[in-house]
Amino acid sequence: MLDDFFTRALIAGIGVALTAGPLGCFVVWRRMAYFGDTMAHSALLGVALSLFFQINLLIAVFGVAVVVSLLLLALQRRQSLSADALLGILSHSALAIGLVLVAFMTWVRIDLIAFLFGDILAVTRTDIALIWGGGVLVIAALVRLWRPLIASTVSEDVAEAEGMKPAQTKLLFMLLMALVIAIAMKIVGIMLITALLIIPAATARRFSASPELMAVLASLIGALAVIGGLFGSLSYDTPSGPSIVVAALLLFILSLLPAAGKNTAVRAGNQGVR
């Protein structure tokens, strides 16, 4: 069964989506979309370094994502620039440096488009093992971290005051995010990883009465988007990443239709601020 490239892509993609769902919810709740983007863009730098030093791609991408996120935390603490501007600088610099480095290495020929937008043809058995292995690791860690993560998302001060360690929780969360970016890169591509994190979570919001339900629904909706996107990619010969994101977007739009949700449009519009 795994001999068929499409089946492999499907299994890998579903694995990525199931992992990305709960993590994506936190990205949405914590307003870290741009942060996720920055980590994802830095993945290309990881790709370049992996080619240059001949090290494992996954490890290089994970390493660079971790370094970039730690750098970001350190810079934010100095408060010389707004977090927004810092993210903008790091995000695009990492992407640009990655592109420049790849261009320098004239002796390697890589399919840049495949890295930027995903490539279903490239999925190997090893990739599947890494995706599902990493996915199980991420989900297990999230389950263990669940209460402190939710608590510190609502209020870091309350979590800290009531005996939790929000700083440590945040660090672990960023490691998980780096791991997901590393394993998701091949399926959706560097430019679109954040979309796979955010769009299913946003779609799940309307149907969820609790954070736990939203996390599970985000996984399922993501898996649905992967299936739809990959079939679309196959029949229209489009790159896998963008096709999956388009499928996710279609599901999101469907979820906005008034009849789709339990909540009425009025209630949804009454979101206010709190």
Partner 1 sequence: MLMSNRARRPKAENQLVSLANAGIRRDGRWLVRGVDFSIRRGEVVTLIGPNGAGKSTTAKLAIGVLRPDEGSVARLAGLRVGYVPQKLAIDWTMPLSVRRLMRLTGPLADADLLAALESTGIPHLIDAEVRHLSGGEFQRALLARAIARKPDLMVLDEPVQGVDFAGESALYDLIRSIRKTTGCGILMISHDLHMVMAGTDTVICLNGHVCCRGTPEVVSQSADYLKLFGNSRSLAVYNHHHDHTHLPDGRVMHGDGSVTDHCHPDDGHHDHDVHDHAHDHDHPHHHHHGDHAEAKGEGRA
Residue 191: how many other CB atoms lie within 10 Å = 20
The count of chain residues that interact with partner 1, using the rule CB under 8 A, is: 35
User: With binding defined as CB under 8 A, does residue 164 bind partner 1?
Assistant: yes
Which residue in 54, 79, 106, 126 binds partner 1 (CB under 8 A)? 79
Does position 154 interact with partner 1 (CB under 8 A)? The reply is yes
Of the candidates 1, 54, 74, 209, which one interacts with partner 1 according to CB under 8 A?
209
Nearer of residues 190 and 218 to partner 1, judged by Cβ:
218
Which CB sits closer to partner 1, 209 or 257? 209
String marking each residue 9-28 x if it binds partner 1 according to CB under 8 A: -------------------x
259 contacts partner 1 (rule: CB under 8 A): no
Considering only 4, 31, 74, 266, the residue that binds partner 1 (CB under 8 A) is 31
160 binds partner 1 (CB under 8 A): yes
When asked if residue 210 is in the footprint of partner 1 (CB under 8 A), the reply is yes
Name the residue among 23, 42, 77, 58 with its Cα closest to residue 191.
42
Is the CB of 1 or the CB of 209 nearer to partner 1?
A: 209
- Is residue 80 within 8 Å of 73, Cβ to Cβ? no
Among 2, 158, 253, 260, binds partner 1 (CB under 8 A): 158
Binding region for partner 1 (CB under 8 A): 28-31, 79, 84, 147, 150-151, 153-155, 157-164, 201-202, 205, 208-211, 213-214, 267, 270-274
